[in-house]
Amino acid sequence: EPEVTQTPSHQVTQMGQEVILRCVPISNHLYFYWYRQILGQKVEFLVSFYNNEISEKSEIFDDQFSVERPDGSNFTLKIRSTKLEDSAMYFCASRGTRDYGYTFGSGTRLTVV
Amino acid sequence: SQQGEEDPQALSIQEGENATMNCSYKTSINNLQWYRQNSGRGLVHLILIRSNEREKHSGRLRVTLDTSKKSSSLLITASRAADTASYFCATDKYGNKLVFGAGTILRVKS
């Protein structure tokens, strides 16, 4: 069964550093997403991406964050100047059409120290 | 906010029993989806029910949707220890993002 692949599974970074979280969505999917889950809290929407541009972003997704689909297969989330409160599990998701469920990756656990 | 909220927050049952989880939301939706998350792992899509559907089955799962009450329920029949996980409902209003509830932690004792 097709999977969404996320790397790395766990990343530890120092406060103020930049991190790039990588995702390989399912190859024929058209809609891409990033969500995050702070430990013990809800899964929160960050951003959706379609047709090579952001289609919607949440209040969380400020200038510190950016997304890119650099080569037609990877989908990345960049977090500049990380803060302690950015520590969370970050999930990438994709789907083919609007009438189907999302396929989520296994997540990247980001720890900012 | 279109947030879905589940109840109960936690549910503990014996293997073989049925588990029912409920979800409420606030706005009109295009569809409602249920996901499972094993501890510290990714989210697994279980079932999607569209706003014009009232009930849907998938294996041991039964989902109902009442748009007049803005609520949904997930029933897992004949539960197994492997069903132990967190279960989330998520609403999709325009087809461009999911809004998740806080989840129900299900523990199935063997």
* pLDDT tens sequence across B23-33: 999 999 999 99
CA angle B50, B48, A3 (to 5 degrees): 140
Count residue pairs from A and B with Cβ separation < 8 A: 57
Q: Which of B89, B94, B96, B104 to mutate to test the interface with A (most CBs of A within 10 A)?
A: B96
Q: Side chain identity at A107, as an amino acid letter? A: G
Residues of B (81-100) whose Cβ lies below 8 Å from A: 88, 90, 92, 95-100
Spatial distance between the Cα atoms of B21 and B8, rounded to a whole number of angstroms: 7
What are the tens digits of pLDDT across the range B97-107?
899 999 999 99
Cβ(A81)–Cβ(A62) under 8 Å?
Answer: no
A1 pLDDT tier (thresholds 50, 70, 90): confident
CA angle A2, B86, A47 (to 5 degrees): 55
For residue A105, is pLDDT > 70? yes
For residue A28, is pLDDT > 60? yes
Report CA Rg, chain A.
13
Spatial distance between the Cα atoms of B50 and A38, rounded to a whole number of angstroms: 29
Q: Is A3 on the interface with B (CB under 8 A)?
A: no
